[in-house]
């Protein structure tokens, strides 16, 4: 999946050492706000690995195209979503059509009737 937006926050990096292998790890989280939409949405995503964090070189105010995967995990009976970026492009204008901001798939002139449109039918609701 791809999303285009502007970076509005860079959170503090987290790091540690893996218990099983003893290898160090680092994760950086960012908050992106979609652009070009009537109601912009915010999404937090992460990049895992110090080399990938440096390669992405993301700063507040950057407009980027983020390719990401979504995964869920369970911990103590609760479920958490993990949005992990696997590619970040600073080339917003050269993005492929799939990388454009999400647009609702329902066309404006759909075949389904508008439930809020006035009609001549009488209903039995008291209000």
What secondary structure, in 3-state letters, does 3-16 show? EEEEEEEECCCEEE
- The average pLDDT across 104-112 equals 45
Phi, psi of 64 (to 5 degrees): -135, 160
Q: Are 70 and 85 in contact (CB under 8 A)?
A: no
| Domain 2-99 fold | OB fold (Dihydrolipoamide Acetyltransferase, E2P) (2.40.50)
Q: Where are the domains of the chain?
A: 2-99
The DSSP secondary structure of 57-98, one letter per residue, reads: ---TT-EEEEEEEEEEEEETTEEEEEEEEEEEES-STT--GG
Residue-level pLDDT at 99: 38
**Average pLDDT of the chain?**
82
Residue 31: CB partners within 8 Å, gap ≥ 6?
7, 8, 9, 10, 11, 42, 43, 44
Q: What is the pLDDT of residue 36?
A: 85
Question: How many residues would you count in the chain?
Answer: 127
Mean pLDDT on 50-61: 94
């Amino acid at each position: 999946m791809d999303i285009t937006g502007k970076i509005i926050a860079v959170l503090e990096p987290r790091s540690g050492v893996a218990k099983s292998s003893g290898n160090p790890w680092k994760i950086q989280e960012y908050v992106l706000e979609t652009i070009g939409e009537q109601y912009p949405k915010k999404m937090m995503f992460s990049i895992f690995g110090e080399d990938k964090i440096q390669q992405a070189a993301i700063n507040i105010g950057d407009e980027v195209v983020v390719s990401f995967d979504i995964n869920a995990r369970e911990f103590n009976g609760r479920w958490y979503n993990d949005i992990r970026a696997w590619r970040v492009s600073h080339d917003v204008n050269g993005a492929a059509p799939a990388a454009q901001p999400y647009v609702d798939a329902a066309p404006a002139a759909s075949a389904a009737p508008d439930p809020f449109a006035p009609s001549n039918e009488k209903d039995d609701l008291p209000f």
